[in-house]
Amino acid sequence: MATNTNQTDETLLSAIRSGGQARENALRYLYLLPGLRETVARFVLDNGGNRSDAQDVFQEAFVLLDRNLREGRFEGKSALTTYFVAIAKWRWVTLRRQQGRYTEISPAQYDGAVESPEAETLRAEHRELLAGAMGQIGERCRELLRLYQLDYSMEEIAGKMGYSGADTAKKEAFRCRMRLREVLENDPLWADVNA
């Protein structure tokens, strides 16, 4: 499936990697692209899922697409939408196997000629630990760390968060990271994760 978009894959990719409002606009464009959701839903429905499964898989695949694009895992060997559908199919097959339901789908059916999705979702025990820790560091630290993770520059973070400059933003980012580390290391689940 080719990317039948008005925007080229290169434009979208560049916007997503640049972060900020450009990233959000590009992701919104892709998310609402006609036909994309239906393609994923058809695959899920044809392979033992229902409408709710299709919606979950579509959103999880979109999260993975965003991360893979930001981390440079997409090499541009296929169209962006083809890559996304491959991630969604791979995600549904993985979920079915985790549920103990064997699905008669060969890898060629979901990733075909495109590169491997290489998508990983957070493990359940990590997700629980991290969600608990993030709840204890405060809203400002959460927002600052989110911007930091999205590769906003320290100048941009200072502007958005109201700091006096990049140095202050950098110090605040470090302080928030140390706060997060302290919370994590004091969490009872920490030992299980590090085992």
Partner 1 sequence: MNRDEQIFDKIEAYLRGNLSAPDAAAFEAEIAADPELARLVKTHRLERQGLEWLVERDLLAKMNTWEREAEQQETTPALRISFVRRWWAAGVAALLVLGVFGWWLLQAPSDVGGPPPVVSVPKPKPPIAAPPKTTPRPSPKPPTAGSDDDRVAGTAQPKPSQPAPSLPPAVKPPATPPVPAVDYPALASTYYKESDFMQKSGNGGIDPPGYGQALDSYRSGKFD
Chain contacts with partner 1 (rule: CB under 8 A): 24, 27-28, 31-32, 59, 62-63, 66-67, 71-72, 122, 126-127, 130-131, 133-134, 142, 145-146, 148-150, 174, 177, 180-181, 184-185, 193-194
Least spacing, CB of residue 20 vs partner 1, in Å: 13
Residue placing its CB nearer to partner 1 in the complex, 113 or 124: 124
Residue placing its CB nearer to partner 1 in the complex, 105 or 169: 169
Residue placing its CB nearer to partner 1 in the complex, 8 or 174: 174
Least spacing, CB of residue 181 vs partner 1, in Å: 6
Least spacing, CB of residue 115 vs partner 1, in Å: 17
Residue placing its CB nearer to partner 1 in the complex, 72 or 162: 72
DSSP code per residue over 92-120: HHHHHHHTT------HHHHTTTSPP----
d(Cα 27, Cα 31) in Å, to the nearest integer?
A: 6
Residue placing its CB nearer to partner 1 in the complex, 85 or 105: 85
d(Cα 19, Cα 26) in Å, to the nearest integer?
A: 10
DSSP code per residue over 125-162: HHHHHHHHHHTTS-HHHHHHHHHHHTT--HHHHHHHHT
Using CA atoms, how far residue 174 sits from 6, 148, 171, 179, in Å, is 41, 10, 5, 9
The residue whose two tokens read 């999260």 is 63
Residue 50's identity, in one-letter code, is: N
d(Cα 195, Cα 112) in Å, to the nearest integer?
A: 37
